[in-house]
Amino acid sequence: MEFMSSDDTKQRNGQADGQVSASTGGREQMIIFTVGEQRYCIPILSIKEIREFEDPTYLPHCPPYVEGAINIRGNIVTVVNLANYLDTAPQPDNERRVVVIIEDGGQRATCGLLVDSVIGITEIALDEIQPISVDGGAAELSGLVSIGECVIRILRLDAVLGRLLGDDAITAAAG
């Protein structure tokens, strides 16, 4: 962190939380995936790799959106079941499920997102992002963007990692 220039930091945080400030007028590459019927996207720079879903190790006392832990080159990485996290139904009998491994710049934490399928990459103009009001209960999302007929939701990665690392009230651990 300390060897990063402040510009770097901004950029990385931008990737990590999926919050892209609308004032920059820049464009950003996003990866689009589906969970259930919906399409979501996250900045491509936050993605470390995409891998096939394999049975993770169950983590005791975990909330329903935690699928378990997997080994990624010697690191223990938690897999988040995005369907449960977003409270939506996953596609049934899906063979194409993959785990998108993301890394957060600020918190330096890594996690896997279990999604139904990865559709592709798109470039979006940051000033075309429609903000979402948080009072609407959409703390998981940072905005919407329309591509053609389709509305794509931008997932807030900092919120996912924040929940995982337990800085919300549902921390199971008591010490």
| C-alpha–C-alpha distance, residues 157 and 16, integer Å | 6
58 binds other proteins (CB under 8 A): yes
109 binds other proteins (CB under 8 A): yes
CA angle 55, 95, 17 (to 5 degrees): 70
DSSP letter, residue 53? -
Closest separation in Å from C-beta 65 to other proteins: 12
In the bound state with other proteins, the residue whose beta carbon lies nearer, of 62 and 118, is 62
Stretch that binds other proteins, among 22-30, 65-73, 134-142, 152-160 (CB under 8 A): 65-73
> Applying CB under 8 A, does 32 fall inside the site for other proteins?
no
Strands 110-115 and 75-81, how do they pair?
parallel
Site size with other proteins, rule: CB under 8 A: 33
The yes or no reply on residue 64 touching other proteins (CB under 8 A) is no
Asked if 30 and 18 count as a contact pair (C-beta separation under 8 A), the reply is: no
41 with 31: CB under 8 angstroms? yes
Choosing from 111, 114, 132, 159, the residue that interacts with other proteins (CB under 8 A) is 111
Hey, what are 46's tokens? 């936050």
Judged by beta carbon, residue 28 or residue 103, the one nearer other proteins is 103
Residue closer to other proteins, measured from CB, 136 or 175: 175
Do residues 49 and 103 lie in contact, with contact meaning Cβ atoms separated by under 8 Å? no
Q: Which stretch binds other proteins (CB under 8 A): 39-47, 74-82, 135-143, 148-156?
A: 74-82
On whether the CB atoms of residues 98 and 54 are closer than 8 A, the answer is: no
* Secondary structure (3-state) at 93: coil
Interacting residues with other proteins (CB under 8 A):
2-3, 5-6, 56-62, 66, 68-71, 73-78, 109-111, 164-166, 171-175
